[in-house]
């Protein structure tokens, strides 16, 4: 042996703070979404275990429709259509069997709370039980739901029939949305706090005469005292070491177990079960060929919550199949950019 070289690899984790309170100055809704590209149809909502309450703010003085669709199309959709006429708000619970005026539902489960219009907009607030007993209604759950929207410039003369709400023309569309998400998306945070931090292996003595090495080290996460979500991570591999870094996993350590914290300069050790036992929740993973990992909208890996010990184990898998061809030592001690992007929260 005698010759070793040092692999160094960092993983940058960017966490977007998630506020569990309500942003100051906003309405009492904690979720909102713009459904169309022009920004004319916006919905705001909140929910509890039983009900969801929406407010549709739509740039029209005619009728407004909001629907829950099984597949993105009108047929099979559970639809509410409402409007404000002579200062009085109307809302009807309907269902669509075809691409035609949705029929009035026998069981009226969409419930009007209030409504008004001004020169440009119609604003309707209404609610519904998440689960109703009506087969015509769609269950509202944590799944991604296809939300239909449509509007018309005119109010209907009547509730239904030929003088009821008529064809929307191009003013219609669908958007996939997670309605029951407790993860408040960044758009719901007036200003979110963006953190990025690096987890960096240093001076790992990767044996040149062994083709696979699993290397582990416990790291302390930044002291985050409230719940955040990791929404993005990417590897930073020391230039020159790309051929050796094969994959890595980061496990979150359990609060109920003790972990061994190494002093700063300690490179860590070959992975052994007794070190990693308390750390079993996979927080992040990366492998050769994978670039930046972004979690889907509304999803993030929680850290800083009650379960979090504040410690993680990074497990590196180094590959050295060329063995003897690694003839020189690569020592990288350069400090990597540790850009901490912090934006203030309005609490």
* Site for ligand HEM, rule CB under 6 A: 65-67, 73-74, 79, 81, 99-102, 148-150, 165-168, 172-174
Q: Which of residues 316-345 bind ligand NAG (CB under 6 A)?
A: 343
Q: Is 39 in the site for ligand NAG (CB under 6 A)?
A: no
Report the sign of the C-alpha dihedral through residues 273, 279, 282, 286, in that order. negative
Please, what is the minimum distance in Å from the beta carbon of residue 187 to ligand HEM?
Answer: 22
167 binds, among ligand HEM, ligand NAG, none (CB under 5 to 8 A by kind): ligand HEM
Nearer to ligand NAG, 118 or 274 (CB): 118
343 binds, among ligand HEM, ligand NAG, none (CB under 5 to 8 A by kind): ligand NAG
Closest to 42 in 3D by CA, of 34, 50, 52:
34
Please, what is the minimum distance in Å from the beta carbon of residue 57 to ligand NAG?
Answer: 4
Nearer to ligand NAG, 57 or 152 (CB): 57
Q: How far apart are CA 215 and CA 267, in angstroms?
A: 9
Report the sign of the C-alpha dihedral through residues 190, 141, 303, 230, in that order. negative
Q: Which residues contact 243 (CB under 8 A, 6 or more apart)?
A: 319, 322
9 binds, among ligand HEM, ligand NAG, none (CB under 5 to 8 A by kind): none
Q: Is 25 in the site for ligand NAG (CB under 6 A)?
A: no
φ, ψ of residue 276 to 5 degrees: the values are -95, -5
Nearer to ligand NAG, 282 or 346 (CB): 346
Please, what is the minimum distance in Å from the beta carbon of residue 295 to ligand NAG?
Answer: 12
Q: Is 192 in the site for ligand NAG (CB under 6 A)?
A: yes
Judged by CB under 6 A, the residue of 135, 223, 273, 328 near ligand NAG is: 223
Q: Which residues contact 343 (CB under 8 A, 6 or more apart)?
A: 191, 192, 193, 194
Q: Which residue has the tokens 């670039």?
A: 291
Nearer to ligand HEM, 122 or 192 (CB): 122
Closest to 277 in 3D by CA, of 246, 315, 306, 245:
315
Q: Is 32 in the site for ligand NAG (CB under 6 A)?
A: no
150 binds, among ligand NAG, ligand HEM, none (CB under 5 to 8 A by kind): ligand HEM
Strand-pair category, 204-207 with 88-95: unpaired
Please, what is the minimum distance in Å from the beta carbon of residue 132 to ligand NAG?
Answer: 28
Please, what is the minimum distance in Å from the beta carbon of residue 9 to ligand NAG?
Answer: 22
Q: Is 118 in the site for ligand NAG (CB under 6 A)?
A: yes
Residue 117 near residue 167 (C-beta atoms within 8 A):
no
Q: Is 255 in the site for ligand NAG (CB under 6 A)?
A: no
Structure tokens at 25: 């100055």
Using DSSP, state whether 245 is helix, strand or coil.
Answer: strand
- Write the DSSP string, 19-69: -SS--TTS-S-SEEEE-STTS-EEEEEEE-SSEEEEEEEES-SS-EEEEEE
Nearer to ligand NAG, 123 or 145 (CB): 123
Residues that bind ligand NAG (CB under 6 A): 16, 57, 118-121, 123, 186, 191-192, 194, 223, 225, 343
């Amino acid at each position: 042996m005698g010759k070793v070289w040092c692999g160094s690899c960092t993983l940058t984790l960017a966490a977007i703070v998630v506020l569990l309170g309500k942003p100051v100055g906003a309405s009492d809704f904690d979720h909102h979404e713009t459904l169309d590209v022009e920004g004319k149809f916006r919905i705001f909502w909140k929910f509890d275990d039983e009900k969801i309450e929406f407010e549709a703010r739509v740039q029209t003085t005619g009728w407004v429709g909001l629907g829950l669709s099984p597949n993105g199309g009108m047929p099979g959709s559970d639809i509410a259509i409402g409007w404000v006429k002579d200062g009085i708000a109307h809302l009807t619970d309907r269902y669509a069997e075809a691409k035609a005026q949705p029929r009035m539902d026998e069981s009226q489960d969409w419930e009007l709370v209030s409504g008004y219009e001004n020169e440009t907009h119609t604003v309707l607030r209404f609610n519904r039980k998440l689960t109703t007993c009506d087969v015509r209604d769609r269950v509202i759950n944590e799944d991604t739901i296809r939300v239909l929207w449509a509007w018309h410039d005119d109010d209907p003369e009547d509730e239904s029939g030929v003088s009821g709400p008529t064809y929307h023309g191009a003013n219609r569309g669908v958007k996939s949305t997670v309605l029951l998400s407790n993860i408040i998306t960044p758009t719901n945070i007036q200003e979110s706090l963006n953190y990025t931090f690096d987890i960096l292996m240093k001076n790992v003595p990767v044996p040149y005469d062994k083709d696979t090495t699993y290397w582990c080290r416990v790291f302390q996460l930044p002291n985050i005292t409230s719940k955040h979500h990791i929404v993005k991570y990417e590897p930073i591999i020391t230039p020159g070491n790309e051929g050796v870094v094969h994959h890595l996993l980061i496990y979150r350590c359990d609060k109920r177990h003790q972990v061994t914290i190494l002093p700063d300069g300690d490179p860590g050790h070959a992975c052994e079960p007794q070190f990693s036992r308390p750390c079993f929740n996979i927080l992040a993973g990366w492998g050769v060929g994978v670039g930046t990992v972004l979690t889907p909208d509304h999803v993030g890996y929680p850290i800083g919550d009650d379960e979090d010990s504040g410690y993680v184990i990074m497990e590196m898998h180094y590959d050295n199949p060329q063995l003897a061809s690694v003839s020189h030592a690569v020592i990288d001690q350069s400090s990597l950019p540790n850009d901490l992007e912090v934006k203030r929260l309005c609490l």
